[in-house]
Structure 1
Amino acid sequence: MPLSPSVERAYTPSPIPGVGWLRSRVNIDALVLLSVLGCQLMVVVDATIVNVALPDIQRSLDFSTSSLSWVLNAYTLTFGGLLLLGARLGDILGRRSTFLGGLTVFLAASAFGGLSTDSSMLLVARALQGVGAAIAAPAALALLMTRFPEGPQRTRALALFTAVSIGGFSLGLVVGGALVEWLDWRWVFFVNLPIGAAVLVAGMFSLPQTARRPGTFDLQGALYSTIGIGAIVYGLVHAAEQSWSSPVTVVALTVGAALLVAFVLTETRAAAPITPLRLFASVPRSSAHAGRLVMVAGFMGMMFFLTQYMQEVLHYGPLETGLAYLPMTAATFASSQITARILVSRFSNRALLLAAFSAAAGGLFWLSALDAHTSYASLVGPFVLVGAGGGMAFLSLTTAALRGVHPDDAGAASGVVNTAQQLGGTVGLAIMVAVFGAATRGLPASSDTFAHGMTVTVLVAGSLLVAGGVLMAATQGERREPSLDVALAANPSQR
């Protein structure tokens, strides 16, 4: 598939000997997709795969109950705080080099985590995993944007990216449950090594280098954005652990908000801003970021409590819990592919997003009918509805968020997409923990009490998605994309 002229000029040949010969004999598009999707899979799976291993980790490394949550939060904090900085590094140093470098840090940290002998060592490893993910993830999405020009080819690639992004959450629970049950908790970290090695090799042979951009590095903007987003993430994490009225929560959120305001003001004056504000000039693009934050907030809040519900109330094992999510994963993949091939050419982005948010919200409202005696059969219908809505929504949101972005801004745009997703998960968890606490306060600890608290949280999550659907109806346009099948019929050589 030929690159657009503006993109092709941005590439330089790979310095690895023999790559030119290899490229003439393999499907480079497939290897690029393997690299990008493999990286995204590891980054997303790592947010959930550790969940089911937490009890074993606590016993093995003598974590206290209060410190155990930082096995998750250390990753969240560094990943969320450094995303915009990581995106800018790709623009300055070249996206291929940044992608491979970030992935190498992530894999080294994974090995370090699996070899941990005490709690401090594991927390350092988790923080370093977040650093590597923050560097690699924006570069991966930017490489996908520049390799596949806007239109049906990018829609197909983004459909697969969407399926991996959403399906990875439930896949992490399945894989984590299997590894803990059959092997050892350390394998939730070691499993990244063979996958990452394959991604590194594919990336080294398929990803051409993008040209470095001249100019100064926006150190002030990088400092404000990194500390500001980090403070917001920390404040939300602390709110979920303690309370919204905690002095630490209030101070962290206030400092974070103030630094982000300073960041915006800095970017209006910077010669080479870390995040060009022109990325937010488009209303549909900006609302797509808001829609992603809301959708992820609803999803993560649901999965956090539903996972506990299946284990604590329905008494599923870790592997059973992960397998229970497979209907949602299958619906997500099918929905994203059907949307890419058929629906994008028949319906406007506004109509697709309204339908997607409505379907996902309907699934969450359906889940609110659960109680302490629900059978698994009652979960399948809501799971399919939520997965179908998510697959359609995330593809449409990603397409809207990246539409019209110049190749020079691909890294920054990808960083914003990833930041919205990361903040959405943190915001959703903090809100749902507060809602669950309010719904169960004063009630005796029991399966019925937990089931009651969970049904209230999914009602709130569903209401968030209703609000997101209203926002999409008000801000998204009537543009339709050509479907993949239409494009291939017009140009069979792209098959």
Structure 2
Amino acid sequence: MTGTATRRAGLAWMILSLACACQFMVILDASIINVALPSVRRDLGFTPTGLAWVVNGYLLTFAGLMLPGGRAADLFGPRRTLVAGLFVFSAASLAGGLATAPEVLVAARLVQGAGAAMMAPATLAVINTSFTEPGARAKAFGAWSAAGGVGGMVGALAGGAITTGLSWRWVLLINVPIGAVLIVAALLSLAATRTRRQSLDLTGAVTGTAGLAALVYGVMGSADHGWSSGPVVGPVVAGLLLLVVFTAVEARFATRPMMPLRLFRVRAVAVGNGMLLLFGGIAIAMWYFTSLFQQNVLGFSALQAGLGQTPAAVMFMVTARWAAPLLPRTGPRPPVLIGSALFLAGFGWLSLAHAGSGYVTGVLGPTLLVAAGIGLTFPTLMAVATTDGPESDAGIIGGLAQTAGQVGGAIGLAVLATAAGARAASEGGGSSSPAALAAGYSLVFLVAAGLGLALAAVGLLLPRHRRG
């Protein structure tokens, strides 16, 4: 009996490690190449506009294909979907690392994002189906959340170190051996499931994917073209119309819808996804804009800014691992409300930082508070949004939750960047001076504090915790 229990514990640890490693790699590759972009441009001859697609191409297909990726996990099983995603991701990384022309690298990043869109919801489905006891599932969510958060933070440090020590190509090529190891681990640890005899809802998949992709594409272009320009308004309107068509197809016409709208009748799923949309803007304000503040106002290099955010990353990881096991005992409301209070305090403190602020008092203290809030809320929101639906829909529920966070982050980045630029331009002394930029970032942090309050308000709609 003891031997059986030990084997089960070992298998559970392997499955959790696999899910965390995959999530770490997916999030890492969204940011690791940023530091290497100057080297990429020199080697391959990118134009400035084209260079942006090395980053945006990955994010676009990652966000746009998450829902089909989640449904694939339901139809073909998390094991098959995860292995297929790892293979696509690794093959695209190899092609990108060996690219000799800009078009090849951009195409590789688009395909890499598609692989990530299969992997991410599959890891959530693996956790939901492998950890059924509430306490164990909460711990697994905490570890998974911490892995993704650390992946986002390690990106700048790893990208700088690899580019400096080896070459920008190894930022992509390193995924190949890691992907091979994870494929073997998935085949050994995950049980095969029967393929469901159900055709994929192609109309829903096309309209939903195209709608999300167009919306994210338009939003991402707002920083360069302005919200009222054709390159922004056209894709955003087209994306919204396609999403309306997608909703109509799923509600009225699809025999077996890709995303059953009945899932939104589950209170926790509906509220959890709404909160994840808000959380995306909070996360962007924390990790992206505090990095810009350190570089553009305090004069840090990209590597120094990455090191400057390391304490916050550690705080996030520790808080997420510590807080997740409490969820079955406290319910979701207390972590969300405490986290929102930390967002209000931390971002309010950050909004006071200026060109003469020091790192310790102006950045370190408040980012530790915000990171603790993220550690409390992120695993809680993911657990709320994904654990109350039927197990047969675990993949699409996971894809929906991650899509909400990605879309919220994309919209948050566009809106906050526009607000920061407008505030900086209104300041005297030039919009690129440290003082003007600090004023712009101050507005961003005040808006993020407001998002924290909105998160708390929506959190009151969460189901009450029932003891026992």
Q: TM-score with structure 2 length normalisation?
A: 0.93
Q: Aligned partner of 1:464: which letter?
A: L
Aligned CA distance change for structure 1 residues 338 and 471 (closer, same or farther; 3 Å): same
**1:387-431 residue CA offsets vs partner (Å, 9 max, x unmatched):** 110011011111111232211110110110111111122111111
Look up the match of 1:32: 15
1:451 matched to 2:438: yes
Unpaired runs of 5+ in structure 2? none
1:438 matched to 2:427: no
Aligned CA distance change for structure 1 residues 442 and 59 (closer, same or farther; 3 Å): farther
Return the offset for 1:346. Answer: 4.9
Q: d(CA) in 1 for partners of 2:241 and 2:9?
A: 50
Q: Aligned partner of 2:465: which letter?
A: R
Q: d(CA) in 2 for partners of 1:318 and 1:197?
A: 31
Q: Aligned partner of 1:456: which letter?
A: L
Q: d(CA) in 2 for partners of 1:45 and 1:71?
A: 14
1:138 matched to 2:121: yes
Aligned length: 460
**1:53-99 residue CA offsets vs partner (Å, 9 max, x unmatched):** 22222222222222222111101111111111111122222221111
Q: d(CA) in 2 for partners of 1:364 and 1:262?
A: 38
Aligned CA distance change for structure 1 residues 356 and 124 (closer, same or farther; 3 Å): same
Identity of aligned residues (%): 37
Q: Aligned partner of 1:460: which letter?
A: V
1:298 matched to 2:255: no
Q: Aligned partner of 2:243: which letter?
A: L
Q: Aligned partner of 1:477: which letter?
A: P
**1:5-53 residue CA offsets vs partner (Å, 9 max, x unmatched):** xxxxxxxxxxxxxxxxxx9698211111122111100111111111222
Out of 408, 412, 419, which is 1:424 matched to? 408
Q: d(CA) in 1 for partners of 2:37 and 2:344?
A: 30
Return the offset for 1:313. Answer: 2.9
1:403 matched to 2:390: no
Aligned CA distance change for structure 1 residues 122 and 200 (closer, same or farther; 3 Å): same
Which deviates the most, 300-309 or 263-272? 300-309
Q: d(CA) in 2 for partners of 1:233 and 1:407?
A: 29
Look up the match of 1:13: none
Q: Aligned partner of 2:321: which letter?
A: Q
After the TM superposition, which residues 55-454 of structure 1 pair with which residues of structure 2 at under 5 Å, given as runs? 55-269=38-252, 270-341=254-325, 343-378=326-361, 379-441=363-425, 443=427, 444=430, 445-454=432-441
Return the offset for 1:208. Answer: 0.9
Q: d(CA) in 2 for partners of 1:166 and 1:25?
A: 28
Q: d(CA) in 1 for partners of 2:467 and 2:328?
A: 5
Out of 433, 436, 454, which is 1:467 matched to? 454
Q: d(CA) in 2 for partners of 1:226 and 1:463?
A: 31
Return the offset for 1:139. Answer: 1.3
Return the offset for 1:349. Answer: 1.4
Return the offset for 1:109. Answer: 1.0
Which deviates the most, 87-96 or 121-130? 87-96
CA contact (8 A) 1:96 1:209 kept: yes
CA contact (8 A) 1:349 1:480 kept: no
Return the offset for 1:194. Answer: 3.1
CA contact (8 A) 2:269 2:388 kept: no
Q: Aligned partner of 2:442: which letter?
A: T
Q: d(CA) in 1 for partners of 2:187 and 2:328?
A: 35
CA contact (8 A) 1:35 1:203 kept: yes
Q: d(CA) in 1 for partners of 2:353 and 2:163?
A: 28
Aligned CA distance change for structure 1 residues 356 and 442 (closer, same or farther; 3 Å): closer
Q: Where do 4+ consecutive residues of structure 1 move more than 4 Å?
A: 23-26
Q: Name the SS of the counterpart of 1:52 in structure 2.
A: coil
Q: d(CA) in 1 for partners of 2:296 and 2:102?
A: 26
Unpaired runs of 5+ in structure 1? 2-22, 483-495
Return the offset for 1:237. Answer: 0.8
Q: Name the SS of the counterpart of 1:373 in structure 2.
A: coil
CA-based RMSD: 2.0
Q: Aligned partner of 2:413: which letter?
A: L
